[in-house]
Structures are given as structure tokens and as C-alpha cells.
Amino acid sequence: MDHPEEIYPMVKLRMAAARISKQIPPEEHWAFAYTMLQKVSRSFALVIQQLGPELRNAVCVFYLVLRALDTVEDDTSVPTEIKVPILESFYRHLYDLNWSFLCGTKDYKILMDKLQLVQIAFLELNKDYEEAIEEITRRMGAGMAKFIQKEVETVDDYDEYCHYVAGLVGLGLSKLFYVARLEDLASDSLSNSMGLFLQKTNIIRDYLEDINEIPKSRMFWPREIWSKYAEKLEDFKYEKNFEKSVQCLNDMVTNALIHVEDCLQYMAPLKDQAIFRFCAIPQVMAIGTLALCYNNVNVFKGVVKMRRGLTARVIAETNTMKDVYGAFYEFSVLLESKIEDKDPNSSLTRKRIEVIKKACTASGSITKRGKYLNEGRSSYNSIMMMLVFLLVPILLALLFLNKQ
């Protein structure tokens, strides 16, 4: 109840999720695709539903194909000599309904077990969509195979790996938007940055989960960065090393911030409202997550992420580029407030934050601040609390009726 302004967006989000569960297509292959999408990525399933039917189907299949490819890469129980050829040839198997490769766990195992249904959906797409998805799958599989056999040593290696697993997703989505005749074709450089910013955020946030991976860990923090602070990457999870752990974390966050300006440039000219929200919501979530992770030792104790209510607000209130500039500015201010002079990278971090703030203010779109940071909102919260007690029963009733 510390954030009553988040209750209504949370109820709206629950209602939206309930509606999505009712909109599953009747055909078996499409029903599987959209049901599986909700299981492997609830947040993505929400934003994808805003797209028009044709583009939504293409993006859904694109995501599941790449998720299946990623499942092969992530399964550390599969020997390298088996995994590498599968990754390199995966794109060709999209057309072979008799092909299968069993791996993964939980929902990802189900996806691989029934991949044929995704393939059937893929084969129903417009030829231009098929070719775009096939090309990105080919390039991503080759890149993943390369890094199965290669450690991430330098920052250049880190950027290259992130390009293969996420930058190419940005390129692929830009091509799908173009094929749908809804957007101009964005440059590869800007599209790549959209993917790198999201991927680097995930890599930073998921340190502990990845380092504890069984049967063996797979880490992508570049040695060029982490070796400045420890002899071994796993040293960061031990309490005695937490001071150095946080310094390395801040170095990693500072590295990720370099992509923000490109991301803002990518989103600014988008014309289609649904595509804009599809692109913008994850980016706002990423800058918010980095602001929370920065200088936060809890990254080495568990998973740091935005609370559900704030996530719901971001989803509900990210509708225009003005909203994006405002959110990036505020989360940058939050991150900036956590910079300590003693941090080895404090000067560089401040410079990168200043670039982001300047890009946001130069837009002329920032007129209201404190939207997400709750500065000076005590009286506002008192009013909101009164409204909440009045409105929650009504909202819950609506949610119940929506499920009927």
C-alpha cells in the first residue's frame, strides 16, 4: 500500500491478461503458439497482443523460433559436439516437419517436444516474413555456435555475442515491421542497439542465476571488465568480495548505458502506435531495471527487478515518445543519485547519464517529473488511499466478470 497509484494499473494489467487467455485462436498450431508464448514470456505475450493480426502472428512465430534456438544453446547438458551442428543448421529445419531435437526443461521442453506446431504456423506466414525469420535464425544460430566454443574475453566479444543473441532480434523485428508496410526500415546500427540494451540488462540482472546454473554455469560478463575486480567471476557471489562485486556491477551498467541514445533515436520516428508500444515498453523496463541494479549488492544475492505495480504503470503509461523521454530521464536521475565518488567509474557513469538526460531534455517533451520516483507525493498518496478503498471492490468485480 506504499504505492496506491499502482493498484489501478495492476488491476488493468490483470484484466488484460485475462482477455488474452480468452483470445487463443482455435487452430491447434496457433493455439499452441500463443499459449506457449504466455508460458515462456508473460510480459512479451502482453505487448505482442497490441499488434495487428498479421504482424502479431509473424512476431509470435519469430519469438518462439528464436526461443527454441535459445533453448538448445542454454541446455548445458547437451555436449558441444552435438549442440554446435544443431545451432548451425537449425534454420534449415524450420521447413522439415519430421525433424525434432529434444532438450530443455519445463515449458521449454514442451516447446521443443511440440516444435512441429510452431513450424506449421511458420509455414503459414507470408513468404517475406518466412524469409526474414529464416535469415535471422541462420545468423543467430551461427553466432551462438561460435560462442559455445569461445569465451567472452573482451568488450568487443561481449558486444558481438549480444549482437548474435539480441541485436539480430532487433534487426529481424525492424524487417518484419517493414514487410508489414507499417514502418520504414530502420538502420541496422539502431536496431542492433535496441537488442543490445535489453540483452545487457538481462545479463547484468541475472548474474546469480547464471553463475549457479546446473550442471555448469554459462556467463557472459566480459573478462576485460570483471578481471579488474576479481580473479574468478564466481568470486562476486561471496560476501567477503561484495565491495569489488558492486564496483564491477557498476562498470557493467555503465557499459550498457552507451546504447541508450541509439534506442531513443530508433523509437522517435516510429509511426504505428502498436509497434511503438511494443518497442518502447521493454526499453523503459530496461532503464528502470538498470537504475535499480546500479550500486545494488542484492544483484549478488538474488534477482533485482521492478516491482509488479511499477511494471503495470510502465505498461499502462508508455504511450508516446514524451512518456519515453520522461521515463528515461527519471530513471537516469535515480541511477545518478546512487553514484558514489569512490566508485572507480563514477566519472564515466555521470558522463553517460548526462548524455541521456540531455537527449531527453533536448526533445522538449519533459514537462512533468517525479512520475515514477514518487518525490513529494505524501498528500497525493493520502488521496489515492481513500480512492483505492472506494474503487478496489468495483475493480475486483470487473475483473471477476471479465473472467466469466
Q: How far apart are CA 224 and CA 242, in angstroms?
A: 19
Please tell me which residue in 19, 42, 218, 308 is annotated as part of the active site: 218
Is 139 designated active site?
no
Question: C-alpha angle with apex 25: 21 to 28, nearest 5 degrees?
Answer: 110
Q: How far apart are CA 25 and CA 180, in angstroms?
A: 21
Q: Where are the alpha helices (DSSP H) in 5-126?
A: 7-22, 28-40, 42-48, 53-74, 80-93, 106-113, 115-123
Is 278 designated active site?
yes
Please tell me which residue in 67, 205, 277, 352 is annotated as part of the active site: 205
Alpha carbon separation from 382 to 4, 206, 368 (Å, rounded): 9, 36, 20
The grid coordinates listed for 147 are 560462442
Q: Where are the alpha helices (DSSP H) in 220-345?
A: 223-226, 242-256, 260-267, 273-293, 308-317, 321-337
Q: How far apart are CA 86 and CA 164, in angstroms?
A: 16
Q: How far apart are CA 151 and CA 224, in angstroms?
A: 11
Q: Where are the alpha helices (DSSP H) in 103-213?
A: 106-113, 115-123, 127-148, 155-162, 168-179, 188-205, 207-211
Please tell me which residue in 161, 276, 329, 331 is annotated as part of the active site: 161
Q: How far apart are CA 305 and CA 256, in angstroms?
A: 16
* Radius of gyration from C-alpha coordinates of the chain: 22
User: Which positions are catalytic?
Assistant: 161, 205, 218, 278
